């Protein structure tokens, strides 16, 4: 690893000032991505700006809506009782990040800002219509999490800005969500494809009133499948609707062929996983209908 300078600010304002002081300065959250890039891939970072001492970034609350500070770990989210109860799609994703040791170190904010197309937390946040809050030298702003991602490793953050918090609205009664991915290995692997589905049932407890379907690892960013959503909304999730949703997800995807899978194989997997995840989400929605 090459030599680097280190800053340890205690506020978002100080962190922003440090980040703009050097052209290639980078924020450090859990370090599970950045430090590996520096140690094993030769990435040159002249100034590392640790966010560990910025207290507000560590806050996690579930009073009505869910507020996740950028420095909250994936393990904290995965094990949080309220998250498991009201936002199970998010605990599904957080529980799949790396190993137990990595989840206890890696942060939700870091996972999101790394902007990997195969990230496990991001599809759930998009499916839940989360909002990202950003702070910097120019002040604060908020953005729909769906618009936060711009490409592999690219986000809406500008120089000196820091992701501070992610807010997730509490789903209405009769809602349920689920997230699954396909990996060659059970642990310590990244998704070949991933699907997150968040549903809300109508008052009859059978018909899908609203749906958000988000695909991972098959596009440069977490991708909403509008076609799959249309196929699910208004249906009772019978076999025909599930088949249409799977076909639509495969059609909306923009996968590549690489050493892990071909684009055609990824599309076929999407058909299966979209059906499977929608059925899990439906079961959770029914359980939450009371």
Question: Beta strand pairing status for 154-155 and 66-69?
Answer: unpaired
Task: Using alpha carbons, select from 225, 233, 241 the residue that is nearest to residue 207.
Answer: 233
pLDDT higher than threshold 90 for residue 178: yes
* Mean pLDDT, rounded, of the chain: 95
The CATH architecture that domain 175-287 belongs to is 2-Layer Sandwich (3.30)
pLDDT digits (tens, 9 = 90+) for 83-140: 999 999 999 999 999 888 999 999 999 999 999 999 999 999 999 999 999 999 889 9
Question: Beta strand pairing status for 208-216 and 154-155?
Answer: unpaired
56-168: which CATH topology? 3.30.465
Spell out where the chain has E strands: 5-7, 26-28, 47-50, 60-61, 66-69, 131-136, 139-144, 149-151, 154-155, 162-168, 175-182, 193-201, 208-216, 223-224
Residue labelled with tokens 């076929």: 268
Q: Answer whether 0.85 is exceeded by the pTM.
A: yes
Are 132 and 101 spatial neighbours (Cβ–Cβ below 8 Å)?
no
Are 163 and 270 spatial neighbours (Cβ–Cβ below 8 Å)?
no
Sequence ranges of the domains in the chain: 5-50, 56-168, 175-287
pLDDT at 114: 94
Question: Beta strand pairing status for 60-61 and 66-69?
Answer: antiparallel
Q: What sign results for the dihedral spanned by CA atoms 237, 239, 241, 246?
A: positive
Give the torsion through C-alpha atoms of 96, 97, 98, 104, to 10 deg. -110
Q: Bigger pLDDT: 165 or 290?
A: 165
Task: Using alpha carbons, select from 163, 94, 91, 171 the residue that is nearest to residue 129.
Answer: 171
Conformation bin of residue 23: beta by default, left when phi > 0, alpha when psi is -120 to 50: alpha
pLDDT at 147: 97
Helix (H) or strand (E) run with residue 252 in it: helix 239-252
* DSSP string over 48-115: EEE-TT-GGGG-EE-SSSEEEETT-BHHHHHH-HHHHHH-HHHHHHHTTSS-HHHHTTSBHHHHHHHT
Task: Using alpha carbons, select from 175, 201, 168 the residue that is nearest to residue 288.
Answer: 175
pLDDT at 199: 97
pLDDT digits (tens, 9 = 90+) for 148-167: 999 999 999 999 999 999 99
Are 175 and 168 spatial neighbours (Cβ–Cβ below 8 Å)?
no
The CATH architecture that domain 5-50 belongs to is 2-Layer Sandwich (3.30)
pLDDT band at 40 (very low <50, low <70, confident <90, very high): confident
pLDDT higher than threshold 80 for residue 253: yes
Token pair, residue 32, equals 């599970």
Tell me phi and psi for residue 17, to 5 degrees: -60, -40
pLDDT band at 187 (very low <50, low <70, confident <90, very high): low
Conformation bin of residue 18: beta by default, left when phi > 0, alpha when psi is -120 to 50: alpha
Rounded Cα distance between 6 and 202, Å, is: 53
Token pair, residue 243, equals 């088949």
Helix (H) or strand (E) run with residue 243 in it: helix 239-252
pLDDT at 186: 67
Task: Using alpha carbons, select from 168, 145, 146, 167 the residue that is nearest to residue 86.
Answer: 168
């Amino acid at each position: 690893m090459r030599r680097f300078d280190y800053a340890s600010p205690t506020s978002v304002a100080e962190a922003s000032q440090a980040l703009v002081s050097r052209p290639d300065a980078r924020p450090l959250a859990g370090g599970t991505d950045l430090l590996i890039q520096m140690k094993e891939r030769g990435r040159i970072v002249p100034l590392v700006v640790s966010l560990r001492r910025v207290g507000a970034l560590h806050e996690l609350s579930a009073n009505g809506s869910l507020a996740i500070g950028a420095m909250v770990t994936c393990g904290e989210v995965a094990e949080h009782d309220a998250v498991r109860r009201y936002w199970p799609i998010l605990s599904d994703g957080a529980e799949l990040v790396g190993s137990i040791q990595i989840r206890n170190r890696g942060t939700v904010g870091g996972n999101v800002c790394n902007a990997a197309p195969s990230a496990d937390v991001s599809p759930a946040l998009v499916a839940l219509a989360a909002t990202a809050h950003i702070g910097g030298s120019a002040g604060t702003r908020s953005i729909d999490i769906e618009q936060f991602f711009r490409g592999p490793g690219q986000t809406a953050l500008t120089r000196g800005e820091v992701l501070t918090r992610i807010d997730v609205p509490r789903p209405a009664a009769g809602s349920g969500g689920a997230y699954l991915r396909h990996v060659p290995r059970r642990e310590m692997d990244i998704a070949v494809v991933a699907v997150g589905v968040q549903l809300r049932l109508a008052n009859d407890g059978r018909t899908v009133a609203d749906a958000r379907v988000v695909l991972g690892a098959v596009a440069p960013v977490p991708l909403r499948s509008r076609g799959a959503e249309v196929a699910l909304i208004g249906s009772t999730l019978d076999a025909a609707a599930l088949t249409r949703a799977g076909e639509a997800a495969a059609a909306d995807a923009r996968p590549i062929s690489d050493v892990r899978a071909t684009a055609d194989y990824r599309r076929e997997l999407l058909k299966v996983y979209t059906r499977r995840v929608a059925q899990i989400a439906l079961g959770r929605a029914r359980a939450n209908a009371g």
